[in-house]
């Protein structure tokens, strides 16, 4: 490689570079999954069940088959048969088993796909399709006391059972023991789920909105019984995912069915309502947190019992207790996770899964302890800083939570705060401030990467990563440049294609870490090759066998979030006036894009605190606010000045010292806002969102 060096590279990691595809996106040149300019393209439109549990008794395809443009009506009588064992690491997933039977397991379940020459013709015929149902009793009444409640799957490791809670209670001067509730929430990415699928001989091609083309190709191959080498999935540009595009989505399964039955390329795009009704949501949670502390504020016992909804169709784990096992020292820490099966669309990861609702409960309870003790909540947290994993006893890889709290408090002006509630008024408004500390687990998923040293001195770097709008493409360009030791303009990056090899998805805050690891390994292999410039040299690395090295340490990203709110006591209206987050995310690959990511996460947290709530009609079981008019998401006017910055941090044992910025931005903001609302009003609100009618 030295042959190609002319000037020493300046280093690309740590440079605030705007996203590579930005100009293409804002000028409309880049292609999303629904933008494939294919000859002979046909369009599929979903028909979804309006009933929550039942059976299709009549579906009269003949009634619409002669409508203008209609090419096919696909339902449970003529759909390709799918492999019932296909799923994900949570196990076989009935969510994927579309159009296989007459049974309806939740409102919004696709029951047919109408394929036509145009999208409008497909939609018109879909809305005219006569479908009748025998309605069966449903159960959507989620609560921790549900008779079907059972321990959650323990795929993520055991829950905490440390020490003696009774002894902890006996040693406590104050005890907080409260219930916290969060509603079902919807990912609501701007780009609706879309797929365009076509056959080329025995090869299946698709352009799909997803968070990991290789894992989606693996799931799709298993589902349709295809050789994965013949399944080619691209996700070149994706307009947000937030977790809901992490799996093989209904748009792709149905587009493949459409292409299979019509022999034409078929595009399927969900309507906004269908995105709400038929794609994964964050489950509602019902959590009990008990914290006992001595008179000096030292925690003697922490209990966190979290229940969340699941679907009978597939397992899922909302790991609400993860921060509780990482944040504070106590001689007794007990946690449980309880799954409650209800008849809703199956939940899946959404924006900091587990940690976002879990830390809302935990960090509000910590604030309530500070209130009872009359203590500064920042000081209270510092007094309970653990020297090792509070439950595991393992050393922390790097832990900069105190730095986040201290620097955040300094920038926010926390020292001025009078910790007593309901003392500040500005005209008619009550004002208050609040804080929350947070963590999110760090690690890596297996991935492969290839690098070709071309004969012209450039390098082609290929990895099945996906950029869902986070800037992953731009970050990986910098990683490739620095690990190869060349200027970034000599890197040609290819991502978002399942043909580029095994790679896990953009999720779990582990995308950049996992992909940068694979690129680093490949660059290391290339360094051992003789490169003479006469022929291209390609190397491929796979990190699957290296990830065991991550064991033995507690690895987390951290943050401290500060909020200032005003509350109008006449209307109950809460406005967030200021948000400040300090983050410890390991090495920051691109400060501009990392800041965008955590600011976006904080806005998601604000939205969770004040707005987002999926509401179901108890009689029909159907979500009644399956649109942006009824399901509120923070808009520009709701978003205050946000300050976000990073403390120096470096993750040992992970190439380049990266921890990942994906989800940590979302954790903490909801609790900081709820705590600020208490500080303003003197009233605790333990149910999200903090709606006007609840605050009054």
Choose which of 182, 209, 211, 474 interacts with ligand MOS (CB under 6 A).
211
Q: Work out whether 246 is an interface residue with ligand MOS (CB under 6 A).
A: yes
Q: Work out whether 165 is an interface residue with ligand MOS (CB under 6 A).
A: no
Query: Between residues 433 and 512, which has the closer beta carbon with respect to ligand MOS?
Result: 512
Q: Which residues of 424-455 are buried (b: 16+ CB within 10 A; e: fewer)?
A: beeeebbbbbbbbbbbbbbbbbbbbbbbbbbe
- Kindly identify the residues of this chain, within the stretch 55-94, that bind ligand MOS according to CB under 6 A: none
Query: Between residues 244 and 433, which has the closer beta carbon with respect to ligand MOS?
Result: 244
- Tell me the C-alpha distance between 190 and 120, whole Å: 21
Query: Between residues 245 and 417, which has the closer beta carbon with respect to ligand MOS?
Result: 245
Respond yes or no on whether the N-terminal peptide bond of residue 689 is cis (omega within 30° of 0): yes
Q: Which two tokens stand for residue 288?
A: 């009990």
Choose which of 109, 351, 417, 595 interacts with ligand MOS (CB under 6 A).
351
- The dihedral of CA 387, 391, 395, 401: what is its sign? negative
- Residue with CB nearest ligand MOS? 243
Query: Between residues 470 and 623, which has the closer beta carbon with respect to ligand MOS?
Result: 470
In terms of Cβ atoms closer than 10 Å to its own Cβ (0-12, 13-18, 19+), residue 693 is: exposed
CB atoms within 10 A of CB 30: 14
Q: Work out whether 471 is an interface residue with ligand MOS (CB under 6 A).
A: no
Report strand pairing: 203-208 vs 194-200: antiparallel
Q: Binding segment for ligand MOS among 29-37, 343-351, 631-639, 681-689 (CB under 6 A)? A: 343-351
Listed residue (307, 325, 327) closest to 316, CA to CA: 307
Choose which of 241, 323, 358, 377 interacts with ligand MOS (CB under 6 A).
241
Query: Between residues 54 and 241, which has the closer beta carbon with respect to ligand MOS?
Result: 241
Q: Binding segment for ligand MOS among 253-261, 348-356, 471-479, 624-632 (CB under 6 A)? A: 348-356
Q: Work out whether 689 is an interface residue with ligand MOS (CB under 6 A).
A: no
**Minimum gap (Å) between residue 684 Cβ and ligand MOS:** 28
Q: Work out whether 350 is an interface residue with ligand MOS (CB under 6 A).
A: yes
Query: Between residues 243 and 432, which has the closer beta carbon with respect to ligand MOS?
Result: 243
- Kindly identify the residues of this chain, within the stretch 434-463, that bind ligand MOS according to CB under 6 A: none
Q: Which two tokens stand for residue 501?
A: 């090899």
**Minimum gap (Å) between residue 151 Cβ and ligand MOS:** 23
CB atoms within 10 A of CB 57: 11
Q: Where are the alpha helices (DSSP H) in 384-432?
A: 401-412
**Minimum gap (Å) between residue 351 Cβ and ligand MOS:** 5
Q: Work out whether 605 is an interface residue with ligand MOS (CB under 6 A).
A: no
Q: Binding segment for ligand MOS among 344-352, 456-464, 549-557, 591-599 (CB under 6 A)? A: 344-352
Choose which of 87, 243, 319, 614 interacts with ligand MOS (CB under 6 A).
243
- Tell me the C-alpha distance between 237 and 227, whole Å: 25
- Kindly identify the residues of this chain, within the stretch 564-593, that bind ligand MOS according to CB under 6 A: none
Site string for ligand MOS, 275-314 (x = CB under 6 A): ----------------------------------------
Query: Between residues 219 and 350, which has the closer beta carbon with respect to ligand MOS?
Result: 350
Catalytic residues: 663
Question: In 331-485, at which residue ranges do the beta strands (DSSP E only) sit?
Answer: 332-341, 424-426, 429-441, 448-453, 459-463
Choose which of 110, 507, 586, 689 interacts with ligand MOS (CB under 6 A).
507
Enumerate the β-bridge partners of residue 511: none
Q: Binding segment for ligand MOS among 72-80, 242-250, 562-570, 575-583 (CB under 6 A)? A: 242-250
Q: Work out whether 508 is an interface residue with ligand MOS (CB under 6 A).
A: yes
Q: Which two tokens stand for residue 623?
A: 């979500």
- The edge-to-edge listing of strands for the beta sheet with 194-200 is 70-74, 110-116, 42-48, 266-269, 194-200, 203-208, 231-234
Query: Between residues 334 and 556, which has the closer beta carbon with respect to ligand MOS?
Result: 556
Dihedral class, residue 242 (left if φ above 0, else alpha if ψ from -120 to 50, else beta): left
Enumerate the β-bridge partners of residue 203: 200
Query: Between residues 466 and 474, which has the closer beta carbon with respect to ligand MOS?
Result: 466
- SS3 state of residue 465: coil
Secondary structure element (H or E) that encloses residue 265, with its range: none
Query: Phi/psi at 4 (nearest 5 deg)?
Result: -90, -5
Q: Write the DSSP assignment of 593-626 as a string of letters.
A: HHHHHHHHHHHHHHHHHHT----B-TTT--BS--
Q: Binding segment for ligand MOS among 235-243, 362-370, 384-392, 590-598 (CB under 6 A)? A: 235-243
Choose which of 121, 196, 338, 349 interacts with ligand MOS (CB under 6 A).
349
Q: Work out whether 353 is an interface residue with ligand MOS (CB under 6 A).
A: yes
Enumerate the β-bridge partners of residue 56: 133
Total of residues contacting ligand MOS (CB under 6 A): 11
**Minimum gap (Å) between residue 509 Cβ and ligand MOS:** 7
Site residues for ligand MOS per CB under 6 A: 211, 241-243, 246, 349-351, 353, 507-508
């Amino acid at each position: 490689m030295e042959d190609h060096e002319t000037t020493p590279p300046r280093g690309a990691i740590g440079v605030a570079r705007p996203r590579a595809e930005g100009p293409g996106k804002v000028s409309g040149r880049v292609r999303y999954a629904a933008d494939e300019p294919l000859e002979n393209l046909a369009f599929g439109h979903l028909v979804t069940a309006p009933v929550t549990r039942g059976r299709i008794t009549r579906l009269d395809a003949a009634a619409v088959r002669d409508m203008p443009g209609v090419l096919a009506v696909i339902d449970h009588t003529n759909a390709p048969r799918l492999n019932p064992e296909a799923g994900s690491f949570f196990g076989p997933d009935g969510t994927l088993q579309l159009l296989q039977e007459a049974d309806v397991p939740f409102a919004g379940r696709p029951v047919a796909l109408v394929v036509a020459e145009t999208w409008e013709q497909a939609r018109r015929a879909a809305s005219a399709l006569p479908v009748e149902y025998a309605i069966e009793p449903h159960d959507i009444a989620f609560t921790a006391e549900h008779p079907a409640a059972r321990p959650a799957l323990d795929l993520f490791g055991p829950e905490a059972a440390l020490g003696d809670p009774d002894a902890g209670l006996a040693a406590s001067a104050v005890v907080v023991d409260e219930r916290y509730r969060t509603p079902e929430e919807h990912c609501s990415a701007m780009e609706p789920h879309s797929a365009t699928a076509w056959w080329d001989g025995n090869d299946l091609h698709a352009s799909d909105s997803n968070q990991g083309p290789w894992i989606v190709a693996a799931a799709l191959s298993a589902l349709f019984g295809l050789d994965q080498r013949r399944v080619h999935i691209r996700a070149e540009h994706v307009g947000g995912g937030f977790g809901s595009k992490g799996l093989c989505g209904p748009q792709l399964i149905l587009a493949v069915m459409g292409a299979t039955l019509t022999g034409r390329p078929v595009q399927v795009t969900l309507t906004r309502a269908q995105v709400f009704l038929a794609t994964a949501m964050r489950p509602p949670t019902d959590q009990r947190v008990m914290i006992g502390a001595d008179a000096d504020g030292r925690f003697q016992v922490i209990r966190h019992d979290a229940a969340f909804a699941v679907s009978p169709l597939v397992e899922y784990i909302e790991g609400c207790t993860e921060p509780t096992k990482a944040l504070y020292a106590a001689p007794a820490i007990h946690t449980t996770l309880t799954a409650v099966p209800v008849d809703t669309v199956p939940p899946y990861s959404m924006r900091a899964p587990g940690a976002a609702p879990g830390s809302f409960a935990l960090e509000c309870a910590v604030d309530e302890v500070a209130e009872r003790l009359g203590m500064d909540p920042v000081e209270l947290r510092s007094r309970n800083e653990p020297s090792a994993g509070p439950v595991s006893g393992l050393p922390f890889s790097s832990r900069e939570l105190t730095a986040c709290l201290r620097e955040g408090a300094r920038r926010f002006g926390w020292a001025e705060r009078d910790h007593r509630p309901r003392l500040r008024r500005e005209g008619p408004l009550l004002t208050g401030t609040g804080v929350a500390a947070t963590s999110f687990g760090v690690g890596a998923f297996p991935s492969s990467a290839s690098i070709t040293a071309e004969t012209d001195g450039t390098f082609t770097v290929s990895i099945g990563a996906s950029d869902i709008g986070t800037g992953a493409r731009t970050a990986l360009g910098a990683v490739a440049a620095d690990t190869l030791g060349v200027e970034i303009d000599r890197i040609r990056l290819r991502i978002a294609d399942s043909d580029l090899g095994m790679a896990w998805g953009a999720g779990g805050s582990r995308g950049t870490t996992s992909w940068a690891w694979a690129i680093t390994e490949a660059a290391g292999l290339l360094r051992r090759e003789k490169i003479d410039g006469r022929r291209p040299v390609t190397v491929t690395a796979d990190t699957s066998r290296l990830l065991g090295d991550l064991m033995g340490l507690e690895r987390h990203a951290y943050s401290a979030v500060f909020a200032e709110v005003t509350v109008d006591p006449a209307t109950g209206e809460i406005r967030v006036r200021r948000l400040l987050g300090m983050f410890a995310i390991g090495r920051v690959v691109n400060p501009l894009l990392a800041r965008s990511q955590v600011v976006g996460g904080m806005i998601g947290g604000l939205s969770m605190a004040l707005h987002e709530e999926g509401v179901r009609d108890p009689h029909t079981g159907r979500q009644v606010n399956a649109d942006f008019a009824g399901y509120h998401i923070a808009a520009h006017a709701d978003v205050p000045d946000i300050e976000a910055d990073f403390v120096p941090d470096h993750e040992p044992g992970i190439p380049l010292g990266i921890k990942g910025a994906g989800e940590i931005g979302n954790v903490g903001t909801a609790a900081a806002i709820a705590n600020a609302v208490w500080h303003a009003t003197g009233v605790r609100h333990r149910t999200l969102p903090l709606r006007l009618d609840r605050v009054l």
